[in-house]
Amino acid sequence: MEVVRKDIFHVISGSVDPGLYRADINSNRKSVGIIPNLRVNQLSDQLITSNSVQLQSDHTFSDGDILLVGKGGAVRAILSKSANANTLLVTERCDNLCEFCSQPPKEANDDVLFGMAAQALTEFQTSDLVGISGGEPFLSKKIFLAFMSTLNSLGCRTPLHILSNGRALQDISFTKKLADVCQYREVSIGIPLHGVRESTHDSLTAAPGSWKETIDGLINAGHMGFNIELRFIPTLDNLSELEKLIVFVGRTMPFISQLSIMNLEPHGWAKKNWKSLYRSPVFYSKTLESAVKIGERLGVNTRLFNYPLCHLKGEYLRNKAERSISDWKNYYPDECNDCAVMDKCCGYFKSSKNMFLEKPRKWAI
């Protein structure tokens, strides 16, 4: 099983101190000078080479990519021009404890990650969207504002999509400061809402008071004109509220730019709780279609994330599906090679194996 893009490599010869480096392959792109260059010769495998797996694409990373060299000699391309999407982790701390968290929180102070992210983004110089995720990026409001300020003063203009539980936005003065520091940058925020009932949401986040704060956050962010993507993750505990949620959002949050319905990723705590969470989309196709249609009527732009096309019944739903899985954790089982629409399908998470794999189905087109 091969992922679409390999992002982890090993140093085979020579020694490289752990840290951030800018991949210098052919000196094509100009360096900003914040991060040291690491000369990489791919043809002669001199400094860094991949392990023996054959890759689908010619280049696994490009000139100007940002590499993170770890202590054991593992090298990861944390920002790459070859990636279908780039996301930077800025903290592993979080004030929610979602049952299906794919990045379970840690408690240690990791503010240093913000510094690395600021350097990496500035050096990478892209005008494509980069995701900012965690943990909860807004957990330390001061640090986040300082992070944005730093990017601004370093001249980094990269558009950012920040994944947040939205709770920090209940603080209107933080929300205003955030709007200020983001005013010359394209920024969008992705916020999950697990249900329309406080009990539904709070039991899934295992954080009492989180629903109330997230709602307050959404209201404030809406008033300040933020571009909000709302997320809903269907599980056995909240599927029954999907249609209500669409109406809820359509009526009280018309400012959201998109509602993303996201199929579970079997990673982290989701794996642990899989049996009590996962529902096959094949069994809730009707509800899904009805909800999306209600959304359409209300002007809610709904998209489906992480749903292999063969798990969705009908053309209508398939047209709403996105190729949403990051290439470094994306794969297609062998059966997919026969599929006529493979190039339109998002495929699977690399963690969808064995008991977590819902097999591809055959549908007649």
Residue number, 248 or 363, with CB nearest to other proteins: 248
Tally Cβ neighbours within 10 Å of residue 213: 19
Total residues interacting with other proteins, rule: CB under 8 A: 25
Tally the residues of the chain: 365
Closest CA to 217 of 162, 144, 167, 165: 167
Q: Are 98 and 164 in contact (CB under 8 A)?
A: no
According to the binding rule CB under 8 A, does residue 245 interact with other proteins? yes
CB of 248 to other proteins, least distance (A): 4
Among 92, 95, 171, 198, binds other proteins (CB under 8 A): 198
Site for other proteins in 212-231 (CB under 8 A): 212, 215-216, 219, 222-223
Half-sphere exposure of residue 138, counting CA atoms within 13 Å on the CB side? 21
Answer yes or no whether residue 254 interacts with other proteins by CB under 8 A.
Answer: yes
Q: Are 158 and 126 a contacting pair, CB within 8 Å?
A: yes
Which member of 247, 271, 290, 333 binds other proteins (CB under 8 A)? 247
> Are 266 and 356 in contact, with CB atoms under 8 Å apart?
yes
Least distance (Å) between residue 50 CB and other proteins: 49
Minimum CB distance to other proteins, residue 304 (Å): 19
Stretch that binds other proteins, among 6-14, 146-154, 207-215, 325-333 (CB under 8 A): 207-215
Alpha carbons 98 and 165: distance in angstroms, whole number? 10
Minimum distance of other proteins from residue 240's CB (angstroms): 10
Taking the C-alpha atoms of residue 43 and residue 230, their distance in angstroms, rounded to an integer, is: 44
Alpha-carbon distance 87 to 133, whole Å? 7
Task: Pick one of 38, 83, 181, 196: the residue that binds other proteins (CB under 8 A).
Answer: 196
The region of 28-36, 76-84, 211-219, 283-291 touching other proteins under the rule CB under 8 A is: 211-219
Q: How far is the CB of 285 from other proteins (least distance, A)?
A: 19
Q: Is 296 in the site for other proteins (CB under 8 A)?
A: yes
Residue 216 vs 322, nearer CB to other proteins: 216
Bridging pattern class, strands 74-79 and 8-11 = antiparallel
Provide the minimum distance between the beta carbon of 247 and other proteins in the complex, in angstroms, as a whole number.
5
90 and 84 Cβ atoms separated by less than 8 Å: no
Window of 81-89, 102-110, 159-167, 209-217 that interacts with other proteins by CB under 8 A:
209-217
Using the rule CB under 8 A, is 179 a contact of other proteins? no
DSSP notation for 62-107: -TT-EEEE-TTSEEEEEE-TTSSSEEEE--S--S---TT-SS----
Q: Which of residues 5-34 bind other proteins (CB under 8 A)?
A: none
Shortest gap between Cβ of 226 and other proteins (angstroms)? 14
Sheet holding 8-11, edge to edge: 37-39, 19-24, 66-69, 74-79, 8-11, 48-49
Pick from 283, 237, 243: nearest CA to 261:
243
Tell the burial category of 26 from Cβ atoms under 10 Å away from its Cβ (0-12, 13-18, 19+).
exposed
Q: Which is nearer to other proteins, 66 or 242 (CB)?
A: 242
In terms of CB distance, is 65 or 241 closer to other proteins? 241
Return d(Cα 158, Cα 144) in angstroms, integer.
16
When the beta carbons of 89 and 247 are compared against other proteins, the nearer one is 247
**Binding flag, residue 299, other proteins (CB under 8 A):** yes
Is residue 298 close enough to count as binding other proteins by CB under 8 A? yes
Binding of other proteins at residue 244 (CB under 8 A)?
Answer: yes
Query: Is residue 197 near other proteins by the rule CB under 8 A?
Result: yes
Positions touching other proteins (CB under 8 A) are 196-199, 211-212, 215-216, 219, 222-223, 243-245, 247-248, 251-252, 254-255, 293, 296-299
